[in-house]
Amino acid sequence: TSSGSGGLRTPIVAVLGHVDHGKTSLLDTIRGSAVTQGESGAITQHIGATAVPLDVISDIAGGLVDPDDFDLPGLLFIDTPGHHSFSTLRSRGGALADIAILVIDVKDGFQPQTIEALDILKRTQTPFVVAANKIDTIPGWNTQEDGPIQASLDAQSDRTRERLDERLYSLIGELSDNDISSDMYWQVRDFQHNAGLVPLSALTGEGIPDLLTVLMGLSQRYMKEEMEIDTTGPGSGTVLEVTEERGFGTTLDVVLYDGTIRTDDTIVVGATNRTIETDVRALLQPRVLSEIRTEKQFERTDELSAAAGVKIAAPDLDDAIAGAPVRVVRDQTLDSVTDEVEAELAEIAVETDENGIVVKADTLGSLEAIANTLQETDIPIVRAEVGDVAARDIAVASTADERQNRAILGFNVDVLSDAADRADHEDIRVFQDDVIYQLVEEYEEYVAEIER
């Protein structure tokens, strides 16, 4: 995906939606079609992402995308598991993703994580298209494998068409209930104010040509200027995950959205209440499938340019946190880069109150999202941190006098066993959920109960 200095970088596309609505299947099918069309070499698997170049998109979209009409190099898709907090997808000043696909199962409709995804897309003002997925499950569906949606629609009986339309209009209704005006993508003129719906099946591939066409069109039309970056400048990225890797210790899975990163670069990374400065020991990319039989899962690369997903191995990464910024130190001094990372961390940091509840979350972005929700509901927070619920969190909660403050909200985190014992002993209520508003609701119900 590197494209030399002053080039256009690849737009970053986040795939979001409720658990099991088909995000991974959608990307699998896009990867699969590229492979069947003999373009496997052209698709590159990144850490946490898949890069699909323009000519492959054009092949899959068959006639709908003419490469001559575009000068963006392709699309970089990031898969976000439904249980994982995609609010991690944050970069300086807002959303990491330039554009998003909100995947909704047509037979299931809106579900908790659909609403949560939509809230974050609205808050970060990320443009998105709705993939109305699993149309092949409509009773009587006559599949037109891998074709454009119009061919599929033409192949259905009137009754099946009606059944599909019912589902699609009910989705449009649910979107409207959530303050999003939308229509079938072919009816949408102004994509900045209306979300386009693309009916498709991740399983049979029908409608995927349309999805890719809409994404390319949107990116080209509205995002071209933002894609004009100095791809050779010092790299900037966001930590998606902090993981242990055999032979490498603690590593960072990072999406690089600006500039270049090289082996031996000095980087500054956000951690809890501090920054880490360290030197890149290795940049790792997944091996292509055919090579996976070799022992090593990753191959090393010396240099990568935005946009890309990469695993960074370096010393001292143990305290790094998901959602934190990563910056390469090259043209600037270490101090000024550290200041910038600190400023970014401060911007995400949650303001705490003298009395309130303890909040723990899996990433900085999700912590920020849950703190916003709590603040909107006037629930005070005494401590907000990334990480599992630990004994010291119970200790903080147990200093509270008011009963409603003797509580901990954990989003997408575990409760360490000594913490669980201590919570029992100290009579601290610990709430856990992987949907923010459900977590807050559970807590509110509890407060209502004790006030009764």
* Of 137 and 373, CB closest to ligand GTP: 137
Backbone angles phi, psi at 331, to 5 degrees: -85, -25
Asked if 23 touches ligand GTP (CB under 6 A), the answer is yes
Which does residue 17 touch among Mg ion, ligand GTP, none (CB within 5 to 8 A, set by kind)?
A: ligand GTP
State the nearest-atom distance from the C-beta of 350 to ligand GTP, in Å.
27
Measured from the CB of residue 114, what is the shortest distance to Mg ion in angstroms? 14
Sign of CA dihedral 27, 32, 37, 40: positive
Task: Please report whether residue 143 would count as binding ligand GTP according to CB under 6 A.
Answer: no
- Annotated ligand binding at 22? The verdict is yes
- How many residues lie near ligand GTP (CB under 6 A)? 17
| Cα distance between residue 69 and residue 338, in whole Å | 41
Nearest to 393 by CA among 401, 382, 402, 404: 382
Which positions from 64 through 103 interact with Mg ion, judged by CB under 5 A? 81
Compute the distance between CA of residue 110 and CA of residue 172 in angstroms, rounded to an integer. 10
Ordered DSSP codes for 280-335: --EEEEEPPGGGTTSS-SEEEESEEESSEEEEEE-TT-TTB-TT-EEEEESSS-HH
> Which segment (128-136, 229-237, 253-261, 290-298) binds ligand GTP by CB under 6 A?
128-136
81 appears as a binding residue in the annotation: yes
Beta bridge partners of 260: 234, 305
Omega of the bond prior to 419 within 30 degrees of 0, cis?
A: no
Least CB distance to Mg ion at residue 113 (A) = 12
**72/120 with CB nearer ligand GTP:** 120
In whole angstroms, the minimum distance from the beta carbon of 79 to Mg ion comes to 6
Contact residue for ligand GTP among 126, 201, 251, 260 (CB under 6 A): 201
**Is there a contact between 136 and 143 (Cβ–Cβ < 8 Å)?**
yes
Nearer to ligand GTP by Cβ, of 107 and 300: the residue is 107
Sign of the dihedral through C-alpha 305, 307, 312, 317:
positive
Nearest distance from residue 198's CB to ligand GTP, in Å?
12
State the helix-helix crossing angle for 208-223 and 23-36, rounded to 10 degrees. 100
State yes or no: 114 annotated in a binding site: no
Q: Which is nearer to Mg ion, 72 or 130 (CB)?
A: 130
Judged by phi (left if over 0) then psi (alpha if -120 to 50, else beta), residue 441 lies in alpha
Identify the residue among 59, 98, 116, 136 touching ligand GTP (CB under 6 A). Answer: 136
**Binding site annotation covers 133?**
yes
Query: From the list Mg ion, ligand GTP, none, which binds 315 (C-beta under 5 to 8 Å, kind-based)?
Result: none
Q: What's at 84, amino acid-wise?
A: H
- Which CB atom, from 132 or from 415, has the smaller least distance to ligand GTP? 132
Residue 2 contact among ligand GTP, Mg ion, none, beta carbon within 5 to 8 Å by kind: none
Q: Which residue is nearest to ligand GTP (CB)?
A: 82
- Give the three-class secondary structure for 146: coil
Written as one string, the DSSP assignment of 173-192 is HHHHHTT--EEEGGG-S-TT
Cα–Cα distance for residue pair 400/219, rounded to 1 Å: 50
- When binding is defined by CB under 6 A, the residue of 48, 53, 73, 82 that contacts ligand GTP is 82
CB of 428 to ligand GTP, least distance (A): 31
* Annotated binding residue 21: yes
Query: Going by C-beta distance under 8 Å and a sequence separation of 6 or more, which residues neighbour residue 255?
Result: 12, 48, 49, 78, 89, 96, 237, 238, 240, 307, 308, 309
**Is 25 an interacting residue with respect to Mg ion (CB under 5 A)?**
no
Site membership for ligand GTP, residue 207 (CB under 6 A): no
In the list 7, 17, 53, 259, the residue contacting ligand GTP (rule: CB under 6 A) is 17
Q: How far are the Cα atoms of 7, 394, 395, 402 from residue 425, in angstroms, in the given order?
A: 60, 10, 11, 17
134 is in an annotated binding site: yes
Residues in binding site: 17-24, 79-83, 133-136
Residues in binding site for GTP: 17-24, 79-83, 133-136
**What residue ranges bind ligand GTP (CB under 6 A)?**
17, 19-25, 81-82, 133-134, 136-137, 201-203
